[in-house]
Structure 1
Amino acid sequence: MTPQKARELAALSLEMVAPNIDTARVGWDADLREDLGLDSLDFLSFVEGLSDESGLRIEEDDYPELFTLNGCVAYLTRQA
């Protein structure tokens, strides 16, 4: 997966879980839980969206890599 495609996928997954968050204005290093206020269920839904749209199985041990959008991009680019 290209970094650009991974960025689009991460932004789309975030918008699906938190439609009130403007992904164009979010810092890509912002912590999704701490800075953007996603609770644990929102974060799990976000990860499920990443998994569904990318076709990757994302293990729970990998969740810490997904706490920022930049982390998601790096993870998806490396895994896909």
Structure 2
Amino acid sequence: MNRDALRQAILEELSDIAPDIDTAGVKDTEILREEYDLDSMDVMNLLIAIHKRLQVDIPERDYGRMQTLGELLDYIERQSQ
């Protein structure tokens, strides 16, 4: 899956968790928790949904590494190789 397809998949999962977010405007550098007022459960649910959808293992110890969409994309790309 290329980066654009990964980005779209992540944004779809984000939209399911926080439907009020306009995912078309999400930038790769924005800290998701701060910019979109996500709480820790929202973030955890997002990572679990991504794991289920993309079949990428994301250990809990790595959750803190993925604060932005760009960091999340980089992490998933590395894990998928």
Q: TM-score, normalised by structure 2?
A: 0.89
- Other structure's SS at 2:27 match: coil
Matched, 1:59 2:76: no
More RCO (CA 8 Å, sep 6+): 1
Deviation at 1:38, TM superposition (A): 0.3
Residue aligning to 1:38: 38
2:20 maps to amino acid: N
CA deviation vs aligned residue, 1:28-73 (integer Å, no higher than 9, x gap): 2111111211001111111111111111121011112221111111
**Structure 2 unaligned blocks of 5 or more:** none
- Other structure's SS at 1:33 match: helix
Residue aligning to 2:77: 77
Residue aligning to 2:25: 25
Between the two proteins, the alignment pairs up a number of residues equal to 80
Structure 1 residue ranges (4+ consecutive) displaced by more than 3 angstroms after TM superposition: none
Task: Give the helix-richer structure, 1 or 2.
Answer: 2
CA distance in 2, matches of 1:76, 1:70: 10
Aligned identity (percent) is 32
Moved more, 61-70 or 36-45: 61-70
**Structure 1 unaligned blocks of 5 or more:** none
Contact 1:6 1:72 in 2 (8 A): no
